[in-house]
Amino acid sequence: MKALVLIPSYNSGAKLIETVREARAAWAPIWVVVDGSTDGSEAAVQAAAAEDPELRVLVLGKNGGKGGAVLHGLRAAQAEGFTHALVMDADGQHSAGEIPVFMAAARAAPEAMILGKPVFGGDAPLLRVRGRRISNWWANFETLGLGIGDSLFGFRVYPVEPLLRIMERSRWMRRFDFDPEAAVRLCWAGIRPINLPAPVRYLRPDEGGVSHFHYGRDNVLLTSMHVRLVLGMLARLPRLIRLRKAMRP
């Protein structure tokens, strides 16, 4: 196993450099994919990278979405022989302290994917906590209950090769449809999910919290994604039933 931490970032503000420093203290290498940011948040990371060979910044000129940024990072990672990528948010919501735990789980089961299961604090908006139950229900339906604990959480270790194979074949999974669709399609490909708890923080704007999730736009995106995935499930039903027997005997 050769593993890196991949951090997609779009206008993450001052939290970006903080997140990168914490991640770097826990792991090497760390690659940040700056996805057409216009807030200048990448400058501090680029300065740090100039003095740290284990920190790399990949810059995309135009905003292409979270999944698009992850894809860009995965291609470069595969070209350098990485087998696993831990993807985490750039905005301080995830805890770098979990990186070694998740990497150890991946090392113990390199054929699997390690999915974070959010442990919410009192700061979590009810809408977010309840809203994800809908997406989780659908993801479990689409995988015949193969065991996706949380379909939306972005703190995960992916095996690079199968994820790239799936993403290169699809024109979707480029924005916020990345996390749920990646988990579902990897399950379909026989990649076993292992769920590990991971704390998630919801920062107020005055604490540096930023979110690019728009309820209207992104719920339409997620709904059409689940339509696509239900149709995909139906088309693969016999194979999925056999897979389920093999994975959950």
Ligand X SMILES: Nc1nc2c(ncn2[C@@H]2O[C@H](COP(=O)(O)OP(=O)(O)O)[C@@H](O)[C@H]2O)c(=O)[nH]1
**∠ at Cα 150 (145, 153), nearest 5°?**
150
Nearest to 162 by CA among 146, 185, 143: 185
Select from 22, 35, 98, 142 the one that contacts ligand X (CB under 6 A). Answer: 35
Binding partner at 117 among Mg ion, ligand X, none, C-beta below 5 to 8 Å by kind: none
Longest dimension (CA), the chain: 54
28: left (phi over 0), alpha (psi -120 to 50) or beta: beta
The tally of CA atoms less than 13 A away on the side-chain side of residue 191 is 25
93 binding ligand X? (CB under 6 A): yes
Q: Residue 60: enclosing H or E segment and its boundaries?
A: strand 55-60
What string marks each residue from 94 to 133 as x (binds ligand X by CB under 6 A) or -? Answer: ----------------------------------------
Binding partner at 118 among ligand X, Mg ion, none, C-beta below 5 to 8 Å by kind: none
Q: Which residues of 190-209 are buried (b: 16+ CB within 10 A; e: fewer)?
A: ebebbbbebebbbeeeeeeb
Select from 90, 166, 182, 198 the one that contacts ligand X (CB under 6 A). Answer: 90
66 binding ligand X? (CB under 6 A): yes
Least Å distance, CB 116 to ligand X, is 12
Select from 75, 212, 228, 244 the one that contacts ligand X (CB under 6 A). Answer: 212
Residues within the interface to ligand X (CB under 6 A)? 8-10, 12, 33, 35, 63, 65-66, 69, 89-91, 93, 154, 211-213
